[in-house]
Structure 1
Amino acid sequence: MLRTRLCDVLGIEVPVIGAPYGPYEQVDLAAALCGAGALGSLGTAVRPLADLRRQWARMRELTDRPFAINHTLRPLNEEAFQATLDERPAAVSFHLGVPGDLIKRAHDAGILWIQQVMDVQQAEQAVGAGADVIVAQGGEAGGQGGEVATMVLVPQVVDIAGDTPVVAAGGIADGRGLAAALALGAQGVAIGTRLLASVEMDVAAEWKDRIVAADARDTVKLQHSDRFMPPFSRPGGYAFPRSLRTPFLDDAEAHPERLQPAEAGPRIVGAVLEGRGHEFLPFTGQSAALVHDILPAAEIVRRIVDDAATILRRTADTYTRSTPR
């Protein structure tokens, strides 16, 4: 079994983090990931605090292993953030900004901080703010992210991070991705799209089926998402979501002037909370091209870790045999 320093920092058994999915219900998935030795995550975006508290209570019933609760600056719900600190998860994960003041509050509460970054500047900010783990997310990723490719971003962040473990994200869906991330200097991977297409993930079957059927070019970056996504709570935030196409998105990208943010945003949030978010905004990364089935989360993790270990051993053996003595 593969084990890296990331495992020691987070108290997990395998170097895999499950991505958070904003407002989507993922308690069963997160608990299954924890049971498989990975780090499960729970999103918080636009969910009422009462819903979040119910999710957290259920997570505690399903597992006693470490898990993370995610927040973002799009927007930051201060009440939910303070409730998270009171809940004392093993870690808070965060993206779409590097909030040094919130990192300090988490550390004061004895909680680790996992900071996702999209470029070198954010990585430098994360190191300076004392993040415990840095997730370098490439532009291949689904959801809200940047534009720099994972293969380019991860080595840059590793060079900056020093002793802070770096996790690769974006375009990773199998053991080859984990092996490549480790070769780039990362200490593990964060998996999003592959786990959307898992048995335990509570999203519409139609969304999962579209992921299985998708090619990498079926996912698109949304240049006009500010017309319908929630605003940032602080200045300086940016993100370009990646999603499968829908009629809504095709029209929004072709004719952004037709969208009224005051109407479109609440309409999408309402659909998400009703379980219809995929009809508007089915976030999906380019790694959909590597997803060919819907499996239990524990099986996905086991395959990724076992295949990566096999690939690394095979590569080492090949290099040893081919190197003159």
Structure 2
Amino acid sequence: MLRTPVCGLLGIEVPIVQGPLGGPWQQGMRLAAAVSDAGALGSVPTTLRTPAQVRDDVRRLRDLTDRPFALNMTRRPFDPEVFGAVMAEAPPVFSFALGEPGALVARVHEAGAVFLQQVTTVEQAVRAAEAGVDVISAQGTESGGFCGDVSTMALVPQVVDAVRPLPVLASGGIADGRGIAAALALGAQGVNIGTRFLASAECEVSDDWKAAIVSAASQDAVKVTFVDQILPSPTEGGFTTVPRSLRTRFVEEGNARPEVAAAQAGALRTRVMASMRDGTAHELIPLTGQTAGLVQDIAPAAELVHRLITEAETTLRALVDLVPAKNSAGVV
């Protein structure tokens, strides 16, 4: 079984982290539990959740699995009361995105959790390392949701070099075992995967959203450039990012006429938040990465974890076969 040093740090068997998928719509606890039970690290989002909802989410998750998991927060926005609830639940792993970790690192470590920080630039990675985080996830622009401007292929090796010996995960543009093998070749110790797990049996987003992922091409996942008009802005210390979504009429119209979106910001924000809560988010902003073009089916999460690792091992073995063996004298 494919295993790297970060597996021991995160308490997992295979070097796969399921990216947290959700705002108010929520991915559900069954997905995170299934991923963790399969030997990877399931993640639970807390964005726009209340402290009571977070406590209930964790209770339900722990009823489903006794394996390690991550609770995720972001600075878009950051709620200190939710952070307090997260720390009270003592998650094995705390993951943080879209902003500087700052003083949160000490509090997370006091709670006995591993701190996993997402970054989109080398500079952010260096600052996170200096702040004392334990693992860095270098997220390329191919990702769904909020992401930066640098591709995974260019970003990951730079981050690996900049923060060595801190373990790095590659995020963005990875949806099969070949992507995992590529990430390892770039120096990462594992991967953080979101879109592939959106199209899983356990994920509780709309079936229409899953079907749209399966039928989409990579070029159908576009940046939502008018996002600041419709979603909460980053709180202090937040990174500048723009989300990626499948094309919809809503996204196309907003991107084409940002001035109209700005004039109707309040109404649009209300409409988007309502869609997230009533299960129709996919009709407006179905946050999805460019790996949609690699997703051909909807499968159980455990099957996906097994498939990803099997494909990665097969790919790595094939690559080894391309390198001529040396004889005892060191001659090829």
- The alpha carbon displacement at 1:175 in A equals 0.3
- Secondary structure at the aligned position of 2:21 is classed as coil
> What TM-score, normalized to structure 2?
0.95
Which residue of structure 2 lines up, in the alignment, with residue 223 of structure 1?
225
Of 122, 125, 145, the residue aligned with 1:123 is 125
Which residue type is aligned with residue 226 of structure 1?
D
- Secondary structure at the aligned position of 1:42 is classed as strand
Of 237, 240, 252, the residue aligned with 1:238 is 240
- The alpha carbon displacement at 1:237 in A equals 2.4
* Contact 1:216 1:287 survives alignment (8 Å): yes
Which residue type is aligned with residue 116 of structure 2?
I
Verify: 1:310 aligned to 2:321, yes or no.
no
* Contact 2:244 2:288 survives alignment (8 Å): yes
Which residue type is aligned with residue 310 of structure 2?
D
- The alpha carbon displacement at 1:54 in A equals 1.5
- The alpha carbon displacement at 1:235 in A equals 4.8
* Contact 1:91 1:114 survives alignment (8 Å): yes
- The alpha carbon displacement at 1:293 in A equals 0.4
Of 59, 65, 74, the residue aligned with 2:67 is 65
Which residue of structure 2 lines up, in the alignment, with residue 8 of structure 1?
8
- Give, in whole Å, the separation in 2 of the partners of 1:32 and 1:141: 22
Which residue of structure 2 lines up, in the alignment, with residue 275 of structure 1?
279
> What TM-score, normalized to structure 1?
0.97
- The alpha carbon displacement at 1:267 in A equals 2.3
* Contact 1:115 1:135 survives alignment (8 Å): yes
- Give, in whole Å, the separation in 2 of the partners of 1:55 and 1:266: 25
Which residue of structure 2 lines up, in the alignment, with residue 294 of structure 1?
298
Which residue type is aligned with residue 14 of structure 1?
V
- Secondary structure at the aligned position of 2:242 is classed as coil
Which residue type is aligned with residue 268 of structure 1?
V
- Give, in whole Å, the separation in 1 of the partners of 2:101 and 2:265: 26
Which residue of structure 1 lines up, in the alignment, with residue 30 of structure 2?
28
Which residue type is aligned with residue 2 of structure 1?
L
- Give, in whole Å, the separation in 2 of the partners of 1:101 and 1:266: 33
Distance change (3 Å), C-alpha of 1:311 and 1:25: closer
Which residue type is aligned with residue 297 of structure 1?
A
Which residue of structure 2 lines up, in the alignment, with residue 201 of structure 1?
203
- Give, in whole Å, the separation in 1 of the partners of 2:118 and 2:180: 17
Which residue of structure 1 lines up, in the alignment, with residue 116 of structure 2?
114
- The alpha carbon displacement at 1:279 in A equals 1.4
- Give, in whole Å, the separation in 2 of the partners of 1:181 and 1:78: 34
Which residue of structure 1 lines up, in the alignment, with residue 189 of structure 2?
187
Distance change (3 Å), C-alpha of 1:54 and 1:318: same
Percent of residue pairs bearing the same amino acid type: 50
Gaps of 5+ in 1: none
Gaps of 5+ in 2: none
Distance change (3 Å), C-alpha of 1:52 and 1:258: same
- Secondary structure at the aligned position of 2:49 is classed as coil
* Contact 1:46 1:269 survives alignment (8 Å): no
Which residue type is aligned with residue 122 of structure 1?
Q
Aligned length: 325
Which residue type is aligned with residue 194 of structure 2?
G
Q: CA RMSD in A?
A: 1.4
* Contact 2:251 2:284 survives alignment (8 Å): yes
- Secondary structure at the aligned position of 1:241 is classed as strand
Deviations 1:47-105 (A, max 9, x none): 23322221110001011111000000000011111100000001111111122111121
- Secondary structure at the aligned position of 1:75 is classed as coil
Which residue type is aligned with residue 168 of structure 2?
V
- Secondary structure at the aligned position of 1:160 is classed as helix
- Secondary structure at the aligned position of 2:204 is classed as coil
